[in-house]
Chains A and B, each alone.
Chain A
Amino acid sequence: MAVPTPTRIGVEPMTDEAGVLLRVSIFGFVAGIVYWFLSYEWLGTVCLLLLGAGPGFAGLILVQEQRHRGGTGEPRADALRRLAGIPPKDPPGPDDLEADDLGVLPLPTIWPLAAALGFTILFTGLIYGLWLVILGIGLLAYAAWGWLAAVNRENRYGRLQADTEPPSPQPGPVSDPNPQPNPADKEREGTG
């Protein structure tokens, strides 16, 4: 079992992601304050302070989330490894990672297109009249309903079989369909 990296008591470590956002935030606040005292120009000051506030908020959310997770300051990916019992240094995996361990692919769906069309019609209605706004809102609502129903349906019926076949040569490309076989398969064959 890996030994967690020691951390200072009482100080919650940050992920790299939170660190990135909080550094941008500090820049925004410092630049905003300096700019105000140099120029007394309010609009730019507000913009810079908002630049500080936006990423700062997102960064703090990440830190807060990590606290809830009880993180130890290691990156999320390493935390996943640790949870999986993989040592943090030079792990043997994930060479045996299978294709559908990568995540679940959603099904093709028309609803994003329909929602975008509804949104666009709604906006165009601001030029051409209320009737287009109503049409746009109607289409957007219908698409949102269809979208949620499709997501719900996929969640309800569970994960679909992953398409693990090699890519078809039909679209033009030509290559070895399985050029780099998983060495883990070989090992399994050998030991099987």
Chain B
Amino acid sequence: MATTELPLPALPEAHHEEPGGIVDYLTTVDHKKIGLLYIFTSFAIFLAGGILALVVRTELAEPGLQVLGENTYNQVFTMHGTLMIFLFAAQVSTGLGNYLVPLQIGAADVAFPRANAMSYWLYLFGSLIVLSSFFVSGGPAAVAWTAYAPLSTDQYFQGTGMDLWIIGLAVVGVAGILGAVNLVTTIFRMRMPGMTMFRLPLFSWGVLVNQLLILFAFPPLTVVFALLFLERNFGAQFFNPAAGGQPILFQHIFWFFGHPEVYIIILPIFGVISEVIPVFSRKPLFGYRAMVFAFFGIAALSFGVWAHHMFATGLVYLPYFSIMSLLIAVPTGIKVFNWIGTMWRGSITLSTAMLMALGFILVFLVGGITGIFLASPPIDFAVNDTYYVVAHFHYIMVGGLLYGMFAAFYFWFPKFTGRLLSERLGKWHFWIFLLGFNLTFFPQFLVGLDGMPRRIADYQIERWGPANLASTVGAFLTGVSVLIFLWNFLVSIRRGKPAGDDPWGGNSLEWVTSSPPPSHNFHHLPEVHSERPAYDYRHSPAYAAAHGGPDTDPDRG
């Protein structure tokens, strides 16, 4: 075992012995522990946001006000959106990236481990600031997650809750930028010898493009929050038309961040799906380079479509944004085509991770196709701010994200812990989630097309009642499926079957090291000749020498 000699004088204390328990996590700079902290924190926020969603659905189960007043309803759906989009969706993939990217590129850690730790703590403290707004006089923000000015200015919405919302999210934004600098530098500068850019695993590509998007999209968000805060607290008039300000300014800057945010959330999930499907289809990924270029196509176009969220203002140039929005369907379609091409004539294993990946393709297709209609201004004018948009949005953001996230959890849980999640409970989880999710959101397309507006606490039209009741039942079923996952997690982490180092026959480097990996990630590294180094290693003389013969799985290749 290799060690390095200590130059004199040696450190006075044995600092290299890591502390245990909670102190270990408070002081850690290990990317794996920080990744797990991100994942656990964001998942806890997901549970809180999910509870708020159930409260919203309970209120909307039938016409009339039942459990919430109108202002409280506004606060609940605002915080639901805030927690889910800013504090969960954009962060859980950062956690996965933190844990997996250094392993996939053959590095011992990220480029700036201490800054990485600071990034997580900023995220945690920023989230706590946002959550603390529940406990101040007047309660939390009630202006939707988009916080359009002038509605969110002090002229229309007073209270400390809104200021805490702004400051908390600004801190989280700084954390995101810091984390993005770190992960981009890690991928650009710390790849092992032989790991060229076009041998990177697709998940690492997804994280790279996702973090580049964060680098370019979060600064406008921070700017718009700064302007809003100055307007609320220091007398600035950026958005007040009476004083020469422009309300539309807020929407432009916000959506210059807001639409790339969708891809910030979904691109790493594309990477997850691109890792899971080849492994469980026993085939290499179909069209690796096309997938990489599709990542960049989507990312670049995402910066050219921001004002399709503003069609109804009448103040934007419609053809430009319509064409750019429609164009995004091309690289996205390439991805779906290539996933299907990968499965075509493959030897498919329907593990829970694979089922989740298939569920992702299904719901993402529904969400994507309904989004193409919204790129057409005449249709957008008709359904803007109705439940049709809510359904489309949730098919992409909830369906797409959650199926991909659960696929990642089932796929990499053995690497994180050395144990397998229960496949039996996993299949229950999948089927109940599939039923619950579609029951929740598909009826919303129907009531949306019928004209039901979004963000209302009550509706007086009786014929919308059954669809809303079905939606509420679906939401609770989805909640049950998440509880099954939690139970599976709690049982499996203690009594799950030992997984070994490579339970699935994986393709990327993390499957070459032990489960969980040692503190420096690898005891040894194989040669890298392709984008499937772990596969190559299993069929190499080195592997045969170590294991008494090559991997005999007949289908791989």
Contact = CB atoms under 8 A, between A and B. Distances in A.
Interface of A: 16-17, 20, 23-24, 27-28, 31, 34-35, 38-39, 41, 43-44, 47-48, 51, 54-55, 62, 75-78, 80-81, 84, 86, 90-113, 115-117, 119-120, 123-124, 126-127, 147, 151, 153, 157-167, 171-184, 186
Interface in B216-245: 216, 220, 229, 233
Contact of A106 (B2, B114, B191, B545): B114
A93 B113 CA distance: 27
Interface of B: 1-4, 6-7, 9-11, 15-16, 18-19, 24, 26-30, 106-109, 113-115, 117-118, 121-122, 124-126, 129, 160, 163-164, 167, 170-171, 174-175, 188-198, 212, 215-216, 220, 229, 233, 249, 252-253, 256, 296, 299-300, 303-304, 306-307, 316-317, 319-320, 417-419, 493-494, 498-501, 512-527, 529, 542-543, 545-546
A57 to B, nearest CB: 12
B526 A126 contact: no
Nearest to A127: B163
B114 A112 contact: yes
B16 A48 contact: no
Contact of B518 (A16, A99, A160): A99
A54 B296 contact: no
Contacts of B513: 180
Contacts of B10: 157
Contacts of B545: 183, 186
A98 to B, nearest CB: 4
Contacts of A27: 300, 303
B192 A77 contact: yes
A187 B191 CA distance: 27
B109 A103 contact: yes
B195 A180 contact: no
Given A76-B189, A77-B192, A108-B24, A24 B542 contact: no
Contacts of A178: 514, 523
Nearest to A88: B194
A160 B252 CA distance: 51
Contact of B317 (A38, A98, A105, A173): A38
B522 A102 contact: yes
29 contacts: A35-B304, A38-B320, A44-B252, A48-B303, A55-B216, A77-B194, A95-B526, A99-B1, A99-B108, A102-B192, A105-B30, A105-B113, A108-B24, A116-B175, A117-B121, A123-B129, A127-B164, A158-B6, A162-B4, A162-B520, A164-B3, A164-B518, A165-B1, A167-B514, A172-B419, A174-B498, A183-B524, A184-B524, A186-B546
Contact of B525 (A97, A105, A174): A97
A103 B220 contact: no
Contact of B197 (A17, A54, A177): A17
Contacts of B124: 116
Nearest to A21: B212
A54 B233 CA distance: 31
Contacts of B171: 119-120, 123
Contacts of A101: 2
A73 to B, nearest CB: 13
Contacts of A106: 29, 109, 113-114
Given A31-B303, A48-B304, A162-B520, A173 B417 contact: yes
Given A93-B193, A105-B519, A113-B27, A126 B300 contact: no
Given A109-B114, A176-B500, A16 B525 contact: no
Nearest to B545: A183
A38 B320 CA distance: 8
Contacts of B256: 44, 47
A178 B356 CA distance: 32
Given A94-B525, A105-B519, A116-B122, A160 B6 contact: yes
A44 B317 CA distance: 11
Contacts of B524: 95-99, 180-184
A160 to B, nearest CB: 5
Contacts of A167: 514, 516-519
A161 B527 contact: no
A162 B117 CA distance: 20
A103 B499 contact: no
Contact of B167 (A92, A123, A162): A123
B15 A160 contact: yes
A158 B6 CA distance: 7
A87 B118 CA distance: 40
Contacts of B15: 107, 160
Given A180-B501, A186-B545, A94 B11 contact: no
Contacts of A113: 26-27, 117-118, 121
Contacts of B500: 175-176, 179
B2 A162 contact: yes
A32 to B, nearest CB: 9
B296 A102 contact: no
B527 A175 contact: no
A43 B16 CA distance: 52
Given A24-B296, A108-B27, A119-B122, A54 B523 contact: no
A102 B1 contact: no
A112 B304 contact: no
A22 B421 CA distance: 43
Among A38, A108, A165, A183, find the residue whose CB has the most chain B CB atoms closer than 10 A.
A108
B501 A112 contact: no
Contacts of B190: 103
Contact of B542 (A81, A95, A105): A95
Nearest to B493: A172
B304 A161 contact: no
B229 A126 contact: yes
Nearest to B293: A23
Contacts of A41: 316-317
A77 B28 contact: no
Given A120-B125, A174-B498, A179-B500, A16 B196 contact: yes
Nearest to A126: B167
Given A110-B27, A158-B7, 19 more contacts: A16-B197, A16-B198, A24-B212, A43-B249, A44-B307, A47-B303, A51-B303, A77-B191, A78-B193, A95-B524, A95-B526, A100-B2, A102-B107, A105-B109, A108-B28, A123-B171, A157-B6, A161-B6, A183-B545
Contact of B125 (A28, A116, A126, A162): A116
Contacts of A127: 160, 163-164, 167, 233
Contacts of B189: 76
A86 B198 CA distance: 20
A93 B527 CA distance: 6
Given A41-B316, A105-B108, A112-B118, A95 B523 contact: no
Nearest to B217: A51
